[in-house]
A and B are shown apart, each in its own frame.
Chain A
């Protein structure tokens, strides 16, 4: 009997493979190669920092996508958990001087605990009510960050001196085979390795039994409960995992930036994360990463090339029509609206369409 075509899927297990087709294996190899080589090719600090911030955003967005895209729980409170992670790092990694793996785990642990505290709300509230309660969380958090002076340094912020070394390998000051690398290069490898790790973790979570349960809860929680899924338990669980990942993103953010202030954890940040998962594609891990690259890189590009874009004010009192900040915000808004109206599946959906087109070629329509 002739061997079936490599793209033919014959059973369920095959459909759930992580890297099934030769093309996706090739894509993976390409991504790993880019990951290894890119910092040595692009040594410019600006571009590397853009990519590092995008990577940190990708980590947080994967967490939010697990909650919103897979479990269907609306949360506007992501900024709160990200802030919590950053402050934990300032305390545990900076003041206590704990090593990198420990402060990252500590941040994740605190995030999970905070998420677990908020979780019970998801049992009683649904949809719109939950969205507003999590919105309240952002404001409560902002008040806390401004007033818990010992932990957060109050309005003036706090510096984060957590080091990023695993054993003898210090990512902030990397030396491999006698070749030394800059802080940004080391951070690029660190952050994007973590993106890969978190992506793999969540992807595996999503394709196993709990993941299918989450999706059942998202699609119709009542029906899920009838067929034996403990909807409440999964909702709280999703909240905990999602906020643990968010806190990790916050920990990385604080440690990379070396300084954080309460102004950063506001509603705008939450919305940025939501924009990332919408633009990238709800319910896909790959989409979260794409979205983070897109939404993360856009403001940096606008900022850098603001003197070329017509009508933009580069400094206060300039004769421009709109400030850089305002332009960024307007573009965010437009992106959200346009993507939701025209392509609700986001960049991942566009990618899927392109892929299907070529798969069916020359019989594409």
Chain B
């Protein structure tokens, strides 16, 4: 039982990270109709910026997180402004490829600046753990879960109660009608990229603050967050959170019981569990658990 709960906690911590990244995907997809493959690059950028602020400039860790999120947001909004704005009206395939291209430019830039070495981020959580009821909780994991919960709540409040949030929902629903009501679609697009990048940076820096440290492969987690987003439904923020947690739990439990139950499936089967789960769910519900069904009329 303790092992099970321990694995569930690991899954919840992993799932929170997935949820943050998936939420970023959904924000951009909902307002601009683009899946942002560069999210992993932005995540890595945020993590490395956070490292620079916290270690090299010796800024307090909380402030460093905020600074990293803000700088990543600027970069994201810059992408939108410089490249993606030119792609309005192009087929989705072309726009997806643009974001892949951006990822491919971002990754080598990061390694060129920070190198390939594994870096340790100075942070207040370090590798401390607390024990309760036989289960070991990593302090970093607790913070990740707490921060995610706070961000998710703030996120839903923002969309529900602020005029910018309303404008974003309106643009997502019907861009032309929103424009006709005087909403600046440009500002909405830039803001959604900024929010998504900030979320990615937050996910990145909380990951980097763990025992594993920070290495260029950190952006890989964004690829693993794709199934989370698809599972919940591309255009559903609640679905992103749900999908993130489901995928995180599935992955952690598979890893935990690898030796006992899944040894026949080969080593590291937990890596592909998110994709298997996604494919199974999509066969049953092609638009994810909470996604909007694409109505086709003739």
Residues on A lying within 8 angstroms of B by beta carbon are 68, 72, 74, 121, 124-129, 131-133, 135-136, 139-140, 143, 146-147, 222, 226, 267, 271, 274, 278, 321-323, 326-327, 329-330, 332-337, 340-341, 344
Known: A133-B278, A133-B282. 19 other contacts (CB 8 A): A121-B282, A121-B283, A128-B96, A129-B287, A132-B35, A136-B272, A136-B279, A139-B271, A140-B272, A143-B272, A147-B265, A222-B298, A274-B97, A329-B108, A332-B104, A333-B103, A334-B101, A336-B98, A336-B100
Query: Is B105 a contact of A330 with CB atoms below 8 Å?
Result: yes
Interface string of B6-40 (1 = CB under 8 A from A): 00000000000000000000000100000100000
Given contacts A146-B266, A329-B107, contact A125 B272 (CB under 8 A): no
Please give the distance in Å from A54's CB to the nearest CB on chain B: 20
Please give the distance in Å from B227's CB to the nearest CB on chain A: 7
Interface string of B72-99 (1 = CB under 8 A from A): 0000000000010011001011101110
**Complex formed: what's the CA distance from A337 to B79 in Å?**
11
Report how many A-B pairs have Cβ atoms within 8 Å: 129
**Complex formed: what's the CA distance from A140 to B96 in Å?**
21
Residues on B lying within 8 angstroms of A by beta carbon are 29, 35, 83, 86-87, 90, 92-94, 96-98, 100-109, 111-112, 223, 226-227, 229-230, 234, 265-269, 271-272, 275-276, 278-279, 282-283, 286-287, 294, 296, 298
**Complex formed: what's the CA distance from A271 to B98 in Å?**
12
> What are the residues of chain B within 8 A of A146 when measuring CB–CB?
266-267
Query: Is B298 a contact of A340 with CB atoms below 8 Å?
Result: no
> What are the residues of chain A within 8 A of B102 when measuring CB–CB?
333, 337
Given contacts A222-B298, A333-B105, A334-B105, contact A136 B275 (CB under 8 A): yes
Cβ contact of A330, chosen from B86, B92, B104, B223, cutoff 8 A: B104
> What are the residues of chain B within 8 A of A333 when measuring CB–CB?
100-106, 108
Query: Is A136 a contact of B227 with CB atoms below 8 Å?
Result: yes
> What are the residues of chain B within 8 A of A344 when measuring CB–CB?
90, 94
**Complex formed: what's the CA distance from A332 to B90 in Å?**
21
Query: Is B282 a contact of A124 with CB atoms below 8 Å?
Result: yes
Cβ contact of A129, chosen from B107, B271, B282, cutoff 8 A: B282
Cβ contact of A340, chosen from B87, B230, B269, cutoff 8 A: B87
Closest 10 CB pairs of A and B: A333-B104, A147-B266, A326-B108, A336-B101, A136-B275, A337-B101, A333-B105, A330-B108, A333-B101, A322-B112
Query: Is B282 a contact of A125 with CB atoms below 8 Å?
Result: yes
Please give the distance in Å from B34's CB to the nearest CB on chain A: 9
> What are the residues of chain A within 8 A of B265 when measuring CB–CB?
147
Query: Is A140 a contact of B298 with CB atoms below 8 Å?
Result: no
**Complex formed: what's the CA distance from A125 to B285 in Å?**
10
Please give the distance in Å from B234's CB to the nearest CB on chain A: 6
> What are the residues of chain B within 8 A of A139 when measuring CB–CB?
223, 271-272, 275
